[in-house]
Structure 1
Amino acid sequence: METVDCVVVGAGVVGLACARAIAASGREVLILERERAFGTGISSRNSEVIHAGLYYPPGSLKARLSVAGGRMLYAYCESRGVAHRRCGKLVVAAQREALPALARIRARALANGVEELLWLEPGAVKEIEPALDSCGALFSPATGIVDSHGLMLALLGDAERHGATLVLDTPVLGGRAEAGGIVLQTGGEAPMTLQARCVVNAAGLDAVRLAGQLPASSRGLPQAHFARGVYFSYAGRVPFSHLIYPVPEPGGLGIHLTLDMGGQPRFGPDVEWIDTPDYTVDPARAERFAAAIRKWWPGLEPERLQPAYAGVRPKIVGPGEADADFQIDGPAEHRVPGLINLLGIESPGLTAALAIGEEVARRIAAPQG
């Protein structure tokens, strides 16, 4: 049986950020990824937005880690040459009835320490985005976009320079606790039995299931739920230079407009609760998209909407329930030395990735008794 100091399960942006932070502290790190490439799941199927921390309850992990993580991410991208742009976004009240919700977002953002945030009346909105209809908006200049693949390449490069190793096509099937640590059984073309002093479960969509297969983790686990969100591209340019978001809807942030690093527009995601991860994009959903977008952009030409891709959010609450916080469970929660489960790491997970990595590294280094 092979032995290793630390295993990180999952090579998405959060797993790679954890591996980087742990390896930088001087620990031996092995990254196990079930797919044949890194970052093929949640990390490559999202809006690639660097969030400012507007929406999340004060004191929550989402609030703390997104605000800190966003600042860390801008500095990291600048230092590593990762493509990004601080383009700013408008959160729009399309009808007057949405203004109280917009005010609540503003209050939360200020409580979370978001320093740059402006309330704009309709006339001020028109000055910066003439094609946008609104009854008011919040302007967040700290919001931006990032090349998520370039970010993951940089994180992996950093982790490997500190001695970490990535092993692909290696799903973790389960594990058990022994005196020397946690014994993991892997599958794939070259199954292994590994003993690790610490294990970080950053398996994304599979994290809850895997946690149930690891020692003593089945007690108190949340139920896994999946929310699919589809994206539509737009044939041609749009008359916007900022990201445009409506007031959030249950389960997500509403159908919004983002721009990629090349300036190409995409709309989405919506929210559709599904039983198992499925990346199908139904072209018929374009009608619903058009109706939602026209509330704030009447000039939309629906025939230009084209199916693009879908992402799936790893929810730990179901339809109709209040959004859950990130769940970072270590020995204090499950009494298994060396084990950390990262559950429900959905948006703003990309923004918070570096801060999550530092948090996990800190918990691993803390004395355990």
Structure 2
Amino acid sequence: MEDVDSLVIGAGVVGLAVARALARQGRETVVVEQALAPGTGVSARSSEVIHAGLHHPAGSLKARLCQRGRQLLYDYCAARGVAHRRCGKLIVATTPAQLPALRQLWAAGQAQGVPGLAWCEGEALRRLEPALRAEAALHSACTGIVDSHGLMQALLADAQAAGAQLALGSPVLGGQVTPQGLVLQIGGAQPMAIRARTVVNGAGLHAPALAARLQGLDPRGLPRSWRAKGHYFSLRGRAPFSRLVYPLPEPGGLGIHLTLDLAGQARFGPDVEWVDDTADLQVDPRRAAAFDTAIRRYWPDLPAGALQPAYAGIRPKISGPGEPAADFMVQGPGAHGVPGLVNLFGIESPGLTSSLALAEEVLRQLAPDRGLAA
């Protein structure tokens, strides 16, 4: 059996941020990833948006870690040369009936101290985005976009420079809580048992199921796992927008919004489809009709036939259809009683924005007397 100080399960953006933080504390750190490359799961199939923190209840982990993580992420990208742009976002009310909900969102953002918010309508809105049709919009100037793959490469490089190791093709099959630490059974080409003093379960879609396979962890504290598939379509040609455009939120997500990549290419999505199969990442071209209808509410001049299937992702939710959106669940020893174990459940959007702040939260729960480290 091999002994390590800290083991991180999952090499997505959050797992890599956690590994970086642990290694920079001087801990011997190993990251195990079931895929054959890092960052190919949930983290590779997002909108790549740096969120302002508008859409989450005051006092929630999502609100707090998104705001903290946004500033950490902008600073980190600038320091490490990760491509990003603070392009701004417009959240739109496309009918008079939606104006009260937009004003409520504006008031909530102001109450939480979200910076860079401004109400925009009429000529001022037309000057910002002439092609946009809306009664009014909430302008979020601090929203941005980032090269998520470049970010993960930088986090991995930092972690490895601090001594962390990455083991690919190494799924965690199960484990057991022992007085000497957590013993995990690792599969792959070279199966082995690893005993770790600290384990961070950042397995994304598979985190609840993995936790359920840890003997000695009370299963009554584990959340139910739900999966929401989101499809994306890209635009043939260039869009006449320089900012992201979001409708008001809808059940299960933030609506079919327009985002831009760093090259200026527009993509639309995600929608919400509740699924059981995490392997099906195909985009059904027939969904383009519903996308077309949704997009034309704020961009009526969308060219006919301009949408083409792009990609799909699956969000690791811990609340299901018709239920209020669940908060992030960072479940440490204080919640489940197992020393050295932190489970990360329901880390969907704004997980990318919050990744560095989530790493701080993990360290806090592992060793609250040692303070925060970035």
Q: AA paired with 2:226?
A: H
Q: For residues 349 and 108 of structure 1, what CA distance do their matches in structure 2 show?
A: 21
* 2:231 matched residue in structure 1: 230
Q: AA paired with 2:247?
A: P
Q: For residues 126 and 182 of structure 1, what CA distance do their matches in structure 2 show?
A: 58
In the alignment of these two chains, the number of paired residues is: 368
* 2:281 matched residue in structure 1: 279
* 2:360 matched residue in structure 1: 358
Partner-residue secondary structure (3-state), 1:303: coil
Partner-residue secondary structure (3-state), 1:302: coil
* 2:166 matched residue in structure 1: 166
Q: Deviations over 1:90-149 (max 9, x none)?
A: 000111111111112112212222121001123321111011000100000100000000
* 1:42 matched residue in structure 2: 42
Instruction: Give TM-score scaled by structure 2 length.
Output: 0.97
| Contact 2:248/2:254 (<8 A) preserved | yes
* 1:107 matched residue in structure 2: 107
Q: AA paired with 2:231?
A: V
- Map 1:1-369 onto structure 2 (within 5 A): 1-214=1-214, 215-277=216-278, 278-366=280-368
CA gap of 1:46–1:157, structure 2 versus 1, over 3 A, is: same
Q: For residues 65 and 368 of structure 2, what CA distance do their matches in structure 1 show?
A: 19
Q: For residues 313 and 170 of structure 2, what CA distance do their matches in structure 1 show?
A: 23
| Contact 2:34/2:171 (<8 A) preserved | yes
Q: Deviations over 1:148-201 (max 9, x none)?
A: 000000000110111100000000011111111000001111111010001000
Q: AA paired with 1:306?
A: Q
Q: For residues 302 and 196 of structure 1, what CA distance do their matches in structure 2 show?
A: 56
1:366 Cα offset (Å) = 2.9
1:242 Cα offset (Å) = 0.4
Q: AA paired with 2:98?
A: A
Q: For residues 191 and 104 of structure 2, what CA distance do their matches in structure 1 show?
A: 51
| Percent of aligned positions that are identical | 60
Partner-residue secondary structure (3-state), 1:363: helix
Q: Deviations over 1:323-353 (max 9, x none)?
A: 0000000111111111000000000000000
Instruction: Give TM-score scaled by structure 1 length.
Output: 0.98
Q: For residues 335 and 108 of structure 2, what CA distance do their matches in structure 1 show?
A: 28
Q: For residues 357 and 89 of structure 2, what CA distance do their matches in structure 1 show?
A: 22
Q: Give structure 1 stretches of 5+ with no counterpart.
A: none
Q: For residues 202 and 304 of structure 2, what CA distance do their matches in structure 1 show?
A: 39
Partner-residue secondary structure (3-state), 2:219: coil
| Contact 2:333/2:366 (<8 A) preserved | no
